[in-house]
Amino acid sequence: MKRVSVKVPASSANLGSGFDCLGVALGLYHTLTVEEDRGNGFEIRVSGEGEHTLAVDESNATYKAMADVFDLTGYSPGRLVIESVNEIPVSAGLGSSAASVLAGMAAALLLSHQEMDRNQLMRLAVGVEGHPDNVAAALFGSFAVVCQSEAELKHISMPISPSLAATVVHPDFAVSTDESREALPDVVSFTHAIHNVSRVALLVAALATDRPELIQSAMQDRLHQPHRARLVPGLESVCRAAVDVGGHGAALSGSGPSVMAFVRQGDHAPGAAMQAAWAQQGVSARVFDLPIDRAGLQFESDMQ
């Protein structure tokens, strides 16, 4: 019998100004355990977030990712028992899809007796996900900078100050990634492009040199958040609430609807303030005070 376990963190992409090029790994996890034995077929068990909504058949995203890798490696597995324990809210802008794909692909590589080459794994996962920001952050941990074109994919994982943590507030409504993408314009102004280029450069520098006082200005965005705001009632007031009580800066997490704020380690005030701001909109919301995950994807295997 073979047994592998993979643990993948949540992630927050964009961080305001870094549209499709920045991400940070967060301390919520998708833990996947797969046992392979003699026989045929598979069984999928899901617990935690998405327990009653995620598929447990061939359409399950984790299973599909595993099947893609088995096809690539030419490995024919025996009977699989797949246990998925998920802490990451689904359709919340916290990289649950990227974590599912990475977990499945990593488990399949281990079962196939393949080397765990993280650069190869990133290329495979981005081929499924389409966008590399969540994938890079979840795979390598900490703070990720990515650059993708049709011909190449470049990425750097950077350490950030241990004094920084994150607060995520997830409202009780969903925004689909497709709907969020459709809200974006085909063309942006030169002025707005300059605004974001300068802010994203400042944000990378601020996080790399431990200058938290610059984060709030550096996260200001004109490329995507203003267009997505109609899908997330109260977005501006929720972000402002975090900063008003000492948060370093706040922005829509990925395509939303969650909002992520950089905060001081142990500071719970921004989460409470954001939750209250949403309550004023008549929206209930969950607060997650989280560490920055600095390890990325972790795995272990037991091949008997």
- The full set of domain ranges for the chain reads 2-158+293-303, 164-291
Do 170 and 89 touch, CB atoms closer than 8 A?
yes
Residue 277 to residues 55, 240, 242, 249, 266: CA-CA distances in angstroms? Answer: 34, 9, 9, 15, 21
Q: What is the pLDDT of residue 152?
A: 86
pLDDT for 26 beyond 80: yes
Do 26 and 134 touch, CB atoms closer than 8 A?
no
Q: How far apart are CA 232 and CA 225, in angstroms?
A: 10
The owner of tokens 């938290």 is 212
Confidence of residue 302 (pLDDT cuts 50, 70, 90): confident
Q: Give the predicted TM-score (pTM) of the model.
A: 0.95
Q: Which positions ≥6 away from 290 have C-beta within 8 Å?
A: 10, 26, 27, 28, 165, 166, 167, 168
* Per-residue exposure over 35-53, b if at least 16 CB sit within 10 Å of its own CB, e if not: bbeeeeebebebebbbeee
- 134-179 pLDDT, tens digit each: 999 999 999 999 998 877 899 999 999 999 999 999 999 888 778 8
Q: How far apart are CA 112 and CA 132, in angstroms?
A: 24
Q: How far apart are CA 81 and CA 41, in angstroms?
A: 9
Under the phi-then-psi rule, with left for phi > 0, alpha for psi from -120 to 50, and beta for the rest, what region is 231? alpha
- 220-255 pLDDT, tens digit each: 999 999 999 999 989 999 999 999 999 999 999 999
Q: What is the pLDDT of residue 304?
A: 63
Assign domain 2-158+293-303 to a CATH class. Answer: alpha beta
Longest dimension (CA), the chain: 62
Q: Which of 154, 95, 159 is nearest to 119 (CA)?
A: 154
pLDDT for 108 beyond 80: yes
Q: How far apart are CA 145 and CA 12, in angstroms?
A: 12
Homologous superfamily of 164-291: GHMP kinase, C-terminal domain (3.30.70.890)
Mean pLDDT of 202-219: 97
Confidence of residue 111 (pLDDT cuts 50, 70, 90): very high
- Give the N- to C-terminal CA distance of the chain in Å, as an integer: 5
Q: Which positions ≥6 away from 95 have C-beta within 8 Å?
A: 10, 11, 12, 13, 23, 88, 134, 137, 138, 254
- 53-68 pLDDT, tens digit each: 999 999 999 999 999 9
Q: For the chain, what percent of residues have pLDDT higher than 90? A: 90
Q: Which positions ≥6 away from 54 have C-beta within 8 Å?
A: 46, 60, 61, 84, 86, 90
Q: What is the pLDDT of residue 151?
A: 78
Q: For the chain, what percent of residues have pLDDT higher than 70? A: 100
Residue 263 to residues 158, 238, 257, 284, 296: CA-CA distances in angstroms? Answer: 18, 14, 19, 22, 20
Q: What is the pLDDT of residue 246?
A: 97
Q: Which of 49, 143, 166 is nearest to 96 (CA)?
A: 49
Do 79 and 42 touch, CB atoms closer than 8 A?
yes
- CB count, 10 Å around CB of 3? 17
Kindly state the tokens that stand for 116. 């765990």
